[in-house]
């Protein structure tokens, strides 16, 4: 069970403050989402041919979200780079967000789900624009609130 934000004396002062936002919640979201994504007809094949070690991938992505929300500093990679080689298109980002949003809403109260969803939309827009810019395309943000 999560402790209230005020009861997290070791939490970074810039961390997102929500009583249910902690590493176990992040891990639950990442594990549940990737379990669903691997089975998805559109994005599952991309994940399944790209990810060699699912435990390592889930750990790395959990660290990414933990660093973003809790300021743990455990992720120090360049998240855009691996996505550039995947030939992702708009429908892939849309499906990723649909699954991610449904997962967040299934697992968490609306306020916490919204924290994840808003950030995921920004990430999707950033990735989609970054991938398009490397190919010379012009793309407008479609997902951010």
Domain boundaries, the chain: 18-134
Instruction: Compute the 3-state secondary structure of the chain and give helix, strand, coil in percent, each to the nearest 5.
Output: 65, 0, 35
pLDDT at residue 104, rounded to an integer: 97
Could you tell me which CATH number the domain at 18-134 has?
1.10.490.10
pLDDT digits (tens, 9 = 90+) for 47-86: 999 999 999 999 999 999 999 888 888 888 777 666 666 7
Cα R_g (the chain), whole angstroms: 16
Say which residues have a Cβ less than 8 Å from residue 2's Cβ, sequence separation at least 6.
19, 20, 21, 22, 24, 25
Helices first, then strands: H and E counts in the chain: 6, 0
Would you state the structure tokens that stand for residue 60, as one six-digit string? Answer: 């790395």
Q: Could you tell me what percent of the chain has a pLDDT over 70?
A: 74
Name, in order, each residue with C-beta under 8 angstroms of 67's C-beta and a sequence gap of 6 or more.
73, 74, 75, 76
* The model scores a pTM over 0.85: no
Length of the chain: 145
Better pLDDT: 17 or 126: 126
Q: Residue 110 CB: number of other CB atoms within 10 A?
A: 10
């Amino acid at each position: 069970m999560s402790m209230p934000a005020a009861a997290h004396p070791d939490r970074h002062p810039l961390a997102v403050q929500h009583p249910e936002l902690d590493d176990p919640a992040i891990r639950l979201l990442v594990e549940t989402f990737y379990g669903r994504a691997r089975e998805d007809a559109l994005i599952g094949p991309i994940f399944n041919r790209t990810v060699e070690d699912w435990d390592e991938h889930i750990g790395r992505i959990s660290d990414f979200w933990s660093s973003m929300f809790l300021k743990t500093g455990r992720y120090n990679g360049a998240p855009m780079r691996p996505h550039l080689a995947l030939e992702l298109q708009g429908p892939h980002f849309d499906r990723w967000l649909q699954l991610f949003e449904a997962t967040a809403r299934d697992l968490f109260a609306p306020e916490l789900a919204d924290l994840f969803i808003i950030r995921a939309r920004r990430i999707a827009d950033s990735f989609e624009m970054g991938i398009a810019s490397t190919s010379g395309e012009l793309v407008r943000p479609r997902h951010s609130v």
